[in-house]
C-alpha cells in the first residue's frame, strides 16, 4: 500500500520543520509492536483487507483496525507506517503514528489514544503542531479517541460483518444475488435470514457489504428491519467510518 508513497517527504530545516519518512518496500512497519518483553497487552489481527496479520499495541488500536477493515470506503491501512520528524522549538523530535489510512477522500495518519491520554498536554501540543504541518505535505493527521472507536453500533456491526463475510463468493452466486437486487431493489435482513438469497445468504451479504457492493445504515444496529441496497458507484460517498468523528454525535 505504501509503494505509491515517496520514501521521504518534507524537510527538517526551519522553525516549522516536518519530515515524513515512510517504511521501505522491505519493511512492514517503522518499529516492531509485538515483543515478548512488552509490559502492555499487544497482539495481531488477521486483516481481511490487508491479507496479513497486522500488529496492535492496545485494544483501541485493534478495534480501530477492525473498523477500517470493515469499511469498504477504506482502500487500505498500515500500522506503524512512518517516522515523522518535526521541530518543536529548538528540539527535533520523532513521532511514530499508529496508522496510515487510505480512502477515496484522501490519505491520513491516525494516532489512537484513550480519552485520558488525549488530555495529556504534551500529546495535545504535538497534535496541534502536526495537524498544522502535515497537511502542507499532502496528508492529513488525526487523533482518534477510544470513545469514538466504541461509538455504538459501528464496532458491533463491523464485528458481525467480519465474522460472517470472510468467505469469497463464486461468480454464479454474485450474479444470482445481483439479479435479485435488480428485481426487488432492496431486501431486509429478515428476508435474507428467511432464505431469499439461499442458505448462505447471510454470509454472502456480509461479504458484499465488505466489498462495497451492498450497503445498509451502519449508524443503526443490524436488525431484521435493516434494509440492504446496492451501492451506486457513480456517486462518491464519504466512508461511513468518518461518522465516528462527527462532533454532534453523543
SS3 of 70-139: the string is HCCCEEEEEECCEEEEEEECCEEEEECCCEEEEECCEEEEEEEECHHHHCCHHHHHHHHHHHHHHHHHCC
10-19, 25-34, 69-78, 98-107: the lowest-pLDDT one = 25-34
Are 189 and 228 in contact by the 8 Å Cβ rule? The answer is yes
Within-domain flag for 238: yes
Within-domain flag for 157: no
pLDDT attached to residue 43: 93
Q: Please tell me whether residues 27 and 143 are part of one structural domain.
A: yes
Q: Please tell me whether residues 71 and 193 are part of one structural domain.
A: no
Kindly tell me if the per-residue pLDDT of 248 is higher than 60: no
Domains in the chain: how many in total?
Answer: 2
**Which residues touch 170 (CB under 8 Å, ≥6 apart)?**
none
* 15 membership: H or E segment, kind and range: none
* Range(s) of the domain holding residue 178: 162-245
DSSP 143: E
Kindly tell me if the per-residue pLDDT of 145 is higher than 80: yes
Rounded to whole angstroms, what are the CA distances from 225 to 67, 207, 238? 23, 19, 24
Section 202-221 average pLDDT: 97
d(CA 242, CA 57): 22
Kindly tell me if the per-residue pLDDT of 168 is higher than 50: yes
pLDDT attached to residue 78: 94
Q: Please tell me whether residues 144 and 227 are part of one structural domain.
A: no
Within-domain flag for 250: no
Q: Left, alpha or beta for 195 (phi > 0: left; psi -120 to 50: alpha)? A: left
Are 73 and 238 in contact by the 8 Å Cβ rule? The answer is yes
Kindly tell me if the per-residue pLDDT of 197 is higher than 50: yes
pLDDT attached to residue 1: 57
Residue 69 binned pLDDT confidence (cut-offs 50, 70, 90)? very high
Q: Please tell me whether residues 62 and 107 are part of one structural domain.
A: yes
This prediction has a pTM of 0.91
Amino acid at each position: 500500500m505504501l509503494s505509491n508513497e515517496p520514501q521521504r517527504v518534507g524537510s527538517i530545516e526551519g522553525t516549522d520543520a516536518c519530515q515524513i519518512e515512510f517504511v521501505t518496500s522491505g519493511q512492514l512497519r517503522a518499529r516492531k509492536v509485538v515483543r515478548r518483553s512488552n509490559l502492555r497487552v499487544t497482539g495481531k489481527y488477521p486483516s481481511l483487507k490487508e491479507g496479513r496479520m497486522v500488529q496492535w499495541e492496545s485494544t483501541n488500536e485493534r478495534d480501530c483496525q477492525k473498523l477500517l477493515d470493515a469499511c469498504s470506503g477504506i482502500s487500505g491501512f498500515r500500522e506503524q507506517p512512518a517516522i515523522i520528524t518535526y521541530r518543536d522549538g529548538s528540539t527535533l523530535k520523532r513521532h511514530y503514528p499508529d496508522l496510515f489510512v487510505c480512502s477515496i477522500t484522501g490519505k491520513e495518519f491516525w494516532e489512537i489514544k484513550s480519552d485520558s491520554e488525549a488530555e495529556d498536554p504534551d500529546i495535545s501540543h504535538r497534535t496541534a503542531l502536526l495537524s498544522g504541518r502535515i497537511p502542507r505535505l499532502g496528508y492529513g493527521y488525526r487523533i482518534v479517541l477510544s470513545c469514538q472507536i466504541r461509538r455504538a453500533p459501528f464496532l458491533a456491526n463491523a464485528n458481525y460483518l467480519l465474522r460472517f463475510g470472510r468467505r469469497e463468493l463464486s461468480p454464479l452466486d454474485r450474479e444470482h444475488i445481483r439479479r435479485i437486487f435488480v428485481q426487488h431493489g432492496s431486501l431486509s435482513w429478515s428476508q435474507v435470514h428467511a432464505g431469499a438469497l439461499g442458505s448462505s445468504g447471510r454470509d454472502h451479504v456480509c461479504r458484499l457489504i465488505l466489498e462495497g457492493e451492498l450497503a445498509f445504515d451502519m449508524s443503526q444496529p443490524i436488525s431484521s428491519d435493516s434494509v440492504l441496497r446496492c451501492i451506486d458507484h457513480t456517486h462518491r460517498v464519504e466512508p461511513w467510518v468518518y461518522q465516528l468523528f462527527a462532533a454532534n454525535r453523543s
